[in-house]
Amino acid sequence: MPDATTSFTRDIPERIAKNPERARQIGATFVFRITGEGGGTWSIALQDDPRVIEGEAEGADCILTMTHDAWREISDHPARAMNHFTSGVVQVTGNAMLAIKLPAIIG
């Protein structure tokens, strides 16, 4: 179960690098606000130059806010992400429909 820092600085960039075309097809920018011990804020830009950015990107299409524990659960079990969205464990602002595309990148 990776912590958020490891996920955003190593794991997700590796997944993007393995298939940047798939990442570009998503065509959106996501901000992740991970609260609590081990948290932080990262952005995943999935357009022309797909990458992870430390901090909050301007003009994000979808912003997801969750605890570090929720992040670990989602990163370990991406199929459960929708349950977290619908139960309010993960708060989504912006275009929430884009969030359904995230398992291809984070899981």
Question: pTM of the prediction?
Answer: 0.92
Q: 99 or 67, which is more confident?
A: 67
**What DSSP letter does each residue of the chain carry, written as one string?**
---HHHIIIIIHHHHHHH-HHHHHHH-EEEEEEEESTT-EEEEEEESSS-EEEESPPTT-SEEEEEEHHHHHHHHH-GGGHHHHHHHTSSEEEE-GGGGGGTHHHH-
- pLDDT for res 104: 79
Q: How confident is the model at residue 103 (pLDDT cuts 50, 70, 90)?
A: confident
- Distance separating the N- and C-terminal Cα atoms of the chain: 12
For residue 64, pLDDT over 80 is answered with: yes
User: What residue segments make up the domains of the chain, in order of their start?
Assistant: 4-106
Q: Is CATH 3.30.1050.10 what the domain over 4-106 is classified as, yes or no?
A: yes
| The amino acid at 44 | I
- pLDDT for res 1: 56
Contact in structure between 73 and 66 (CB atoms under 8 Å): no
Q: How confident is the model at residue 39 (pLDDT cuts 50, 70, 90)?
A: very high
